[in-house]
Amino acid sequence: MTEIKNLLIIGRTGNGKSTLANVLSNTENFSESSGSISKTKNFQSETFEWEGTNYRVFDTIGIGDTQLSKATILYRIAEGINAMDGGINQILFVVGGRFTQDEVDAFNLFRLVLHESHILEYTTLVRTKFTRFNNPDKCNEDHQALINENRDLVNSFRKIIYVDNPSIDTDDDDEKRINGNKRIQSRQILLNYLKDECQSNYELGCWSRISLDFSSYIGRKLELERENDEDSFFMKLENAKNELAQKVSSLLQTEIPSIKKSSWCSLL
């Protein structure tokens, strides 16, 4: 069986996450969006070949989707990681500019839930919408600015890659050609980097057990929502939430002692 390198793209809605998936796979199969509601509600994947290596790029639901809770979004991301055949070789965390507080919060939640298996060692920050991506001096300036804003966060990533993937959905032939060339250059930069970085794979060790507990909670929540007893709904839901948080925190504390029940409660 031919080995495939799995690439997972994560980011806030509107930062160019699905666009990056199109650029890497050299397709137009991923729905590109610039709004606050993600067009990707579950995993979408595409397989491609580059210089003799087969890759499969996975686009995830956008962190920050205004229609879904953070818990549901992170759960779907982690569930997808666990379902990837052969593990994952690289996570690309996409940002479209300076770190907003929402971006910092999203990353911290991502790290809180998944850091127990050293996932950050496989995570690269991809700075999209950077028009001077071909200028090393400008990239270094922006890198330093990001460090000045949040040194701990930036240093959490394996590396920062700068690209620009402007839209090619235009009737202007010159604009389409120029933007298309930028996307080609961005693809080359990313794949040259990934060629060296995708030598090992990562699998989420205890997610199968967490997934069962979370699925049970979601099922109980939906069951409660169908009941007519509004007075006891919130009390029962809180009990179910606390039960889930206790199970997950107990499981994760074997690898990250700092995980608390209250941390999981805040996600649900």
Residue 13 pLDDT grade (very low, low, confident, very high; cuts 50, 70, 90): confident
What is the structure's pLDDT at 140? 95
Calculate mean pLDDT across residues 238-250: 62
Supply the DSSP symbol for 228: S
Q: How many CB atoms lie within 10 A of CB 184?
A: 12
pLDDT in tens, 111-127: 765 654 577 888 999 99
Query: Which run of H or E residues covers position 259?
Result: none
- The pLDDT assigned to 114 comes to 61
List the alpha helices (DSSP H) in the chain. Answer: 17-25, 70-83, 101-114, 136-149, 151-156, 173-197, 207-225, 230-252, 261-267
Per-residue model confidence (pLDDT) at position 255? 46
Average pLDDT, stretch 1-10? 83
Label residue 217 by pLDDT band (50, 70, 90).
low
As a dihedral over the C-alpha atoms of residue 123, residue 156, residue 129, residue 39, rounded to 10 degrees, the angle is 50
**Domain 4-198: top CATH class:** alpha beta
pLDDT at 87: 78
- Give helix 70-83 / helix 207-225 axis angle, nearest 10°: 140
Per-residue tokens: 189: 């930069």
Q: Enumerate residues 6+ apart whose C-beta is below 8 A from 27.
A: 46, 48
Average pLDDT, the chain: 77
CA distance 254 to 250: 7
Taking 50 as the threshold, does the pLDDT of residue 74 lie above it? yes
Average pLDDT (77-103) is 79
Q: For the chain, which residues make up each domain, given as ranges? A: 4-198
Q: Does pLDDT of 7 surpass 70?
A: yes
Closest CA to 79 of 68, 92, 67, 88: 88
Per-residue pLDDT at 2 = 67
- Reference 73, options 8, 11, 157, 117; nearest CA is 11
257 pLDDT higher than 50: no
- Asked if the model's pLDDT at residue 207 lies above 70, the reply is no
**Sequence-distant (≥ 6) Cβ neighbours of residue 211 within 8 angstroms:** 75, 78, 79, 82
Residues 6+ apart with CB under 8 A from 38: 13, 61, 62, 65
| 193 vs 99 pLDDT, higher one | 193
- Top-confidence range, 4-13, 76-85, 231-240: 4-13
* Mean predicted confidence (pLDDT) in 249-258: 51
Residue 107 has pLDDT above 70, yes or no: yes
What span, in angstroms and rounded, lies between the C-alpha atoms of 17 and 128?
9
Q: What are the tens digits of pLDDT across the range 222-232?
A: 676 676 666 66
Structure pTM? 0.75
* First-residue to last-residue Cα distance in the chain: 40
CB neighbour class for 216 (10 Å; exposed up to 12, middle 13-18, buried from 19): middle
Q: At 142, is the secondary structure helix, strand, or coil?
A: helix
